Structure 1
Amino acid sequence: MNRRRFLGIGASVLGAGALVAVAVPSAARLFAEGRPGRLLSSELDLPEAFRVPLPVPVVLKPVRTEGTTDYYEITQQVAKLEILPGVRTEAWTYGGSFPGPTVVTRSGRTTVVKHRNELPVPSVTHLHGGHTPADSDGYPVDLLLPVGSSADAAQGAAGKAGPAGMPGMAGMPGMHHAAGRDIVGERSYTYPGRQRAATLWYHDHRMGFTGPGVWRGLAGFHLVQDDEEGALPLPRGERDLPLMIADRSFAADGSFSYPSSDPALGEPGVTAAYANGVLGDVILVNGAPWPRLDVDRLRYRLRLLNASNARLYRLELDPQPAGGDALVQIGSDGGLLASPVAHDGIEIAPAERFDVVVDFSRYEPGTRVRLVNRFGTGRTAEVMCFDVSAKQVTDDSSVPDKLATVEELSSSAVVTTRDFTFRRSRTDGWIINGERYQPGQSIATPALGTVERWRFSSDLHHPVHVHLDHFQVIGRNGKDPGPYDAGWKDTVDLRPAEAVEVLVRFTDYAGAYMLHCHNLEHEDMAMMADFTVQ
C-alpha cells in the first residue's frame, strides 16, 4: 500500500488531518484485520462434505407472452426445506425454493415480474445489476406488504424500516418519497431489457432488514441472454451452471441462526459483536452444503455469485491443472469481457459475479477436483467438488480469443468527479461521507447522458454497489485496476485503507437510485446513500 498516493487521492474527501487519523496510525491494524465479519457457529452436527448432489435452480416459465413483453409470477412464501441432510429448515423463499427460480430473459424484450408477498414481513425486491426504471429498482422503503395487511400495518412497517439506532426514522423527510409506492399483496416490477447479456440476481432489499431477509433465503438468479453471446461457442445447456455461493449457520432445531438485535425482527440491526458482518460456518452452493457434481472431461461455464452477507472468498481449484490458469474468466457483473482472462484463483466479494470456464479435460479420469476457499479455515475452506468421469466425449465448445465488443469509457468525457468515503464512526456507525442514510436525501445529482468519475475510499473492507448503471474501474490507489476489475462492474471490492476510481455513464432512466456497501450488516446499519439522476 502506497500511503502517500492514498492520502493524495483521499485528502479532498475527508480533509488531510481526518484521513491521516484514520488511515496512517491504524494501517497495520486495518491490514491485519483484512477480511470482515465474525463467525457465528452452528449448534448442530454438520454433514460431511461432498455427499449431497449439486442442485440446479429450476428455470421459471413465463405465465404469458405478448408482443415484446414476457410476464412472470413469483410468490414469496415460507417453506420448510431440507438444506442439511435429515434436517428441516424454515426459509423465506421465492417460489418455495432456495435459491429461488432462475429467471431467463432476452435483451431487448421487456420482462414484467409480479411478486406476491405471503411472508410474515414486508419485502422489497431488487434486481441486482438490472438497468431498471426507478419505480422498479427496489428502493428500500418501497415496501410490498404481506397479503391482507392493513393501512395501520403499513405505517408500522415504515416506522421500523430504518437502520438500527437512527432516531425519528418514521418521521424523516423522504421516508415515503413518492406517493403510492407502498403496496399490499402484489407488486409488478418492469425490466425493459435494455442491457447486454449478463449474470444478474434478485434479492430482498428492505431497509434495515436486507441481512436477515437474504440470510433466510430471499435470493435467486436472473440471467440475461443476447445474440452476441449466443453466437459464441461457449459451453451451454447442462454445462452452463449458475452457482450461488453463500455461508449460513444453523440453530439446534435446524432453523437459520442469525444474531438479530431483536430476534422477533421488530427492530433492525444485529448484536454489537456482529456489526462488521455475519459469517456462517456452512458453505452452501445453490442451497446445498458442500455439494458434489459429476462432470465429463469437457469445458463447463460456471456463473459464480457470492451471495454471502459478508464473507469474502478466494476460489481455487485443487488440484490445479498442469500449467495453472484453471479459471478462465469470460464475464463480470455486467456481462462478457472483451477477451478472456486466465486466473489461478479469483477473489470474490459479496454480490460480485464472475463467469468462468473450466476445462475438465485437463484432468485425468477419476480425479476429484475441489473448489476451495483460500480465505476460509476449517470447514469454510471447502466449497464443493467436481468428480471427473472416465467417459469418452467430444467437446464442441471453445473459448474464443475475442468474446465481445466492450466500449471503454474515456476520462476525457468526465463532466464531474465525486468522492465517497466509506467508514465506521464511533458515534454514528457505518456512514458514507460522514452521514448515516436518510431516504430521499440525495448526495449526488448526475445528469442523464453524462459520464462521471466516482472515487471510493475506505477505512475497513466495503464491497461497494451502484444501482442503475454498470461502471468501469480505472484505478486503485492511483495505480492500474486490480486483476479482478475487468469489464463492466456494478460491485467493486474496496479493501481496507484503499481508494478506487470508477467511470460511470448514466443512461435511460431518471429518478432516485442508491449506492451502498453490500456487506449486508453494514447496509442495514445505514451505509447507504441516494443519488438522483436528472
Structure 2
Amino acid sequence: MEKRVWILFSLCWFGSLLIRGAVAADEESLCQALDPSPQVQPFLEELTQPPVIDISTGQQVTLGAYKIKQKFHPDLPETTIYAYGTSLETASSPGPILVARRGIESYVRWENHIEDEEHFLSVDRTLHWANPQKGGVPLVTHLHGGEVLSEADGHPDAWYTSNGEMGPAFTTLNYTYANSQPPSLLWYHDHTVGITRLNMLAGLNGLYLINSPEEEPRNLPNGEFERLIVIQDKQLHADGRINFPTVGVSPGVHPNWCPEYYGDTIIVNGKAWPFMNVYPTKYRFRMVNAANARFFVMNLSHPELSFHQIGTDGGYLDEPLTFTTLTMAPAERLDFIIDFSKVGPGTAVFLNNSGSVPYPDGDPAFTPPSAQTLIKFNVVSPPENFTLPQFEIPSTLAKSINITTSKDTRVRRMTLTENADENDNPTGSLLNGLRWRDPVTETPELNSTEIWEIINLTEDAHPIHIHLVAFKVQSQQAFDTARYYEGGNCTIDFPYPDPRSCYIEDPQPPENHHLGWKDTATVYPGKVTTFVLRWTTRDGQEFTFDATSGPGYVWHCHILDHEDNDMMRPLKLIRG
C-alpha cells in the first residue's frame, strides 16, 4: 500500500499535464502567455549523462558550437538547438563534461561553427547587444565560477561570429584555465552581451569539474552512484521548436523582451522528465540550475528521505547538512546525497519542485503542474551476486577557510532597481542605477577584502553572480523600502532598532542555500544582503595570473532576461 500511495501522490497531477498542441509557426508568442507545450507522457526515458573529456592532459581540446537537432522526448519532434561538441556529430546539449585536475592548467579552444545569418530565437534589437554588422550568431563562452585571466573569462563583449567578426573585447579563441581552486563543480555557458538568454535557452551550456583526489573526502558515492545534472525549463511548439516570446511585455519600449522566461517542460541532461533506476543505497547528485529565470525549491516525495548536502558553488561545505528542501537559484550548484536504503525496492520517489514564479512571492498558478516534478527515481533490487557498496557521509568534508574583516574593510553599497512603463510593466532592471555601457565604478584592489551590501528595492529575488572570486554570504536584513524611498526619513547607516534606521529586524544568518563558498547568491526583495569578498584565490593567495590585465570582469543578475537588459556591470581590478 505504501508504494502505491507515493506513486499516486506525485502522479495524480500529471493528468493535467496532457495539453493541447502549440501555436503554428506564423503565430505570435506573447511574453509570459506562451501556448502550452504539446501532450507528452513523463518518465519514458532514462536519465543519461553527457560524455566526459579529460582536459588535464596538457593537450589543447577544441570545442565548437554547432546548430543541431536533438530530441528531448520520444513523442516530440526533434528540436533545433545550438550545442557544444568536439564536432557536429558529437555536439549535444548539455555539452561534454570537462574534467580538470587542481593545479594542472587546461587549454580549451572555443570555436563558433553556427552559420545562421540570424538567431533562430527572436532578438530584441532595442537592447544593448552584440549587433554584428555582417550578420551571424555571436557567442563567447564563460567558465562560471572559474578563477581565470579576464581574457579567458568569456567577457560579454569578447564575442565572435563564424564569419570572423569580433566584439570590442575579443582577444583570443584559446583559453587557459589555471584550475587553482579547490575541487568543485563549475559550468560553462554562453555570455554574449544582450543575447545570453537566447544562447543559453538554445542549448549552449555544459559542466566543468575540478577534481583533486588528495582533497576529496573518502568513500563518497562515486562511479555509477554519482550523477552530474543540468536542469533547464523550456516551452515547445508542436513541431518541436522552442517557444520563445516574439511580443514583449512592453512592446512600445522593447518589442519582444520579456522580464522572465519560464518553460513548462523540465529538461534534465537533455531529456524531458527522465527516470533513474537506483539501488537501495546512497547516491550523490551534483546539480546546476541552468534555467533562464526559474528558481527550483526541491523536495522528495517520500517522507523518509532527506537531502544530505555536502557542497555548493565553491565546493565542499565544512560539514554535511541535512534538509528536507533545497533551493537552487539560476546558476547555483548543489552537491547532495540521497540515501535510498531507507525505502524498499519497488518504491517510486519523485524529485519535486515548489518554486514560485516569480520567486519568492509569485502566484502558484503561474507554475504549471508539469514544472512541479523534475525526476522520477525507481528503487530497484540489485542483481544477484552484486554487493552494494557501503558509502559514507563523513562528519568533516573540508578545511574551514574564513574571510576576516575589520573596521577598515572597504564597504560598497549596491542597489537593485527596476524601471517600468506608464502601465507599470517592467522595462528593465539596473545595478546602482547604471547600465552596462556606463563607465566602470567597481574597481577593487588586488588582494584586498571588501564588504558588499546589496539593497534590493525591487519586488523580485535576484541571483547575483560575481566573476573571478568566491565569496561568503554574511547576513540578510529586512528594511522598510517605503521609508527608504522617501529619502532622509531613514537610513541603513544606523543599526536596528535605532529609530533613524530603515532596518526592521536584526541581521539574519544566511539561508541554507547560501552556506559555504558562493559565486552566485540570491538577494531577496526588501532586504539588504551582505557579501564578504576577498580579491585573491580561495586560499587567500595572489592569483597566478595578472587579474588586472585585459578587458576585466563583470558582476550581474543571473536571471538572464535581466542580465541581457542592462542588469550587469563591469568590474576592473587594480593594483593598490
TM bucket normalised to smaller = 0.7 to 0.9
Cα distance between partner residues in 2 of 1:97 and 1:40: 29
TM-superposed CA distance for 1:516, in Å, is 0.1
Cα distance between partner residues in 2 of 1:356 and 1:109: 26
Query: Is the contact between residue 294 and residue 387 of structure 1 (CA under 8 Å) also seen in structure 2?
Result: yes
Cα distance between partner residues in 2 of 1:270 and 1:395: 56
Letter of the 2:348 counterpart: R
Query: Is the contact between residue 217 and residue 394 of structure 2 (CA under 8 Å) also seen in structure 1?
Result: no
Within a 5 Å distance, the mapping from 1:318-397 to structure 2 comes to 318-321=301-304, 326-375=306-355, 376-391=367-382, 393-397=387-391
TM-superposed CA distance for 1:76, in Å, is 0.7
Aligned to 1:406, which of 387, 392, 400? Answer: 400
Q: Deviations over 1:35-84 (max 9, x none)?
A: xx97454555232111111111110244x93xxx3422111100111112
Aligned to 1:82: 71
Cα distance between partner residues in 2 of 1:410 and 1:213: 39
Cα distance between partner residues in 2 of 1:197 and 1:73: 23
Aligned to 1:463: 463
Within a 5 Å distance, the mapping from 1:50-65 to structure 2 comes to 50-62=43-55, 65=57
CA 1:406–1:510 in structure 2 vs 1: closer, same or farther (change >3 Å)?
farther
TM-superposed CA distance for 1:528, in Å, is 0.3
Letter of the 1:311 counterpart: R
TM-superposed CA distance for 1:341, in Å, is 0.8
Please report the TM-score for the alignment, with normalisation by the length of structure 2.
Answer: 0.75
- State whether structure 2 residue 420 is matched by structure 1 residue 435: no
Q: Deviations over 1:391-419 (max 9, x none)?
A: 26433311100000120112228620001
Within a 5 Å distance, the mapping from 1:96-495 to structure 2 comes to 96-119=91-114, 120=116, 121-146=137-162, 148-149=163-164, 153-154=165-166, 158=167, 176=168, 181=170, 187-260=173-246, 271=256, 274-275=258-259, 277-321=260-304, 326-375=306-355, 376-391=367-382, 393-412=387-406, 415-426=409-420, 429-438=428-437, 441-458=439-456, 459=458, 460-477=460-477, 478-495=507-524
Query: Is the contact between residue 39 and residue 280 of structure 1 (CA under 8 Å) also seen in structure 2?
Result: no
Q: Note the residue ranges of structure 1 that are not aligned, 5 or more in a row.
A: 1-36, 159-175, 263-267
Query: Is the contact between residue 151 and residue 171 of structure 2 (CA under 8 Å) also seen in structure 1?
Result: no
CA 1:236–1:70 in structure 2 vs 1: closer, same or farther (change >3 Å)?
farther
> Which is worse superposed, 128-137 or 228-237?
228-237
Alignment partner of 1:280: what SS? Answer: coil
The one of the two structures with greater contact order (alpha-carbon pairs below 8 A, sep at least 6) is: 1
Aligned to 1:497, which of 515, 526, 546? Answer: 526
* RMSD between superposed Cα atoms in Å: 2.1
Cα distance between partner residues in 1 of 2:54 and 2:311: 25
Query: Is the contact between residue 100 and residue 208 of structure 2 (CA under 8 Å) also seen in structure 1?
Result: yes
Aligned to 1:91: 81
Aligned to 1:506: 535
Alignment partner of 1:238: what SS? Answer: helix
Cα distance between partner residues in 2 of 1:70 and 1:503: 37
Q: Deviations over 1:374-401 (max 9, x none)?
A: 1244111111111001226433311100
Letter of the 2:392 counterpart: S
Cα distance between partner residues in 1 of 2:203 and 2:267: 11
Cα distance between partner residues in 1 of 2:246 and 2:461: 21
Query: Is the contact between residue 54 and residue 100 of structure 2 (CA under 8 Å) also seen in structure 1?
Result: no
Query: Is the contact between residue 45 and residue 73 of structure 2 (CA under 8 Å) also seen in structure 1?
Result: no
Letter of the 2:45 counterpart: V
Query: Is the contact between residue 420 and residue 454 of structure 1 (CA under 8 Å) also seen in structure 2?
Result: yes
Cα distance between partner residues in 1 of 2:239 and 2:272: 17
Aligned residue-pair number: 453
Instruction: List 4+ stretches of structure 1 deviating above 4 A.
Output: 37-40
Cα distance between partner residues in 2 of 1:261 and 1:528: 23
TM-superposed CA distance for 1:482, in Å, is 1.4
Cα distance between partner residues in 2 of 1:413 and 1:300: 45
Aligned to 2:500: none
Please report the TM-score for the alignment, with normalisation by the length of structure 1.
Answer: 0.81
Alignment partner of 1:463: what SS? Answer: strand
Query: Is the contact between residue 421 and residue 433 of structure 1 (CA under 8 Å) also seen in structure 2?
Result: yes
CA 1:412–1:70 in structure 2 vs 1: closer, same or farther (change >3 Å)?
farther
Query: Is the contact between residue 76 and residue 116 of structure 1 (CA under 8 Å) also seen in structure 2?
Result: yes
Give the fraction of aligned pairs with identical amino acids, expressed as a percent.
Answer: 32
Query: Is the contact between residue 514 and residue 529 of structure 1 (CA under 8 Å) also seen in structure 2?
Result: yes
TM-superposed CA distance for 1:367, in Å, is 0.6
Cα distance between partner residues in 2 of 1:344 and 1:228: 31
Letter of the 1:432 counterpart: L
CA 1:497–1:75 in structure 2 vs 1: closer, same or farther (change >3 Å)?
same
Q: Note the residue ranges of structure 2 that are not aligned, 5 or more in a row.
A: 1-29, 86-90, 117-136, 356-366, 422-426, 478-506, 537-542
> Which is worse superposed, 99-108 or 412-421?
412-421
Q: Deviations over 1:342-383 (max 9, x none)?
A: 110101110000100111111111110100001244111111
Alignment partner of 2:60: what SS? Answer: strand
TM-superposed CA distance for 1:425, in Å, is 2.0
- State whether structure 2 residue 564 is matched by structure 1 residue 528: no
Normalized per residue, which structure has more helix? Answer: 1
Normalized per residue, which structure has more strand? Answer: 1
TM-superposed CA distance for 1:115, in Å, is 1.2
Alignment partner of 2:562: what SS? Answer: helix
Letter of the 2:400 counterpart: V
Cα distance between partner residues in 2 of 1:357 and 1:38: 37
Cα distance between partner residues in 1 of 2:408 and 2:373: 44
Query: Is the contact between residue 418 and residue 428 of structure 2 (CA under 8 Å) also seen in structure 1?
Result: yes
Query: Is the contact between residue 84 and residue 288 of structure 1 (CA under 8 Å) also seen in structure 2?
Result: yes
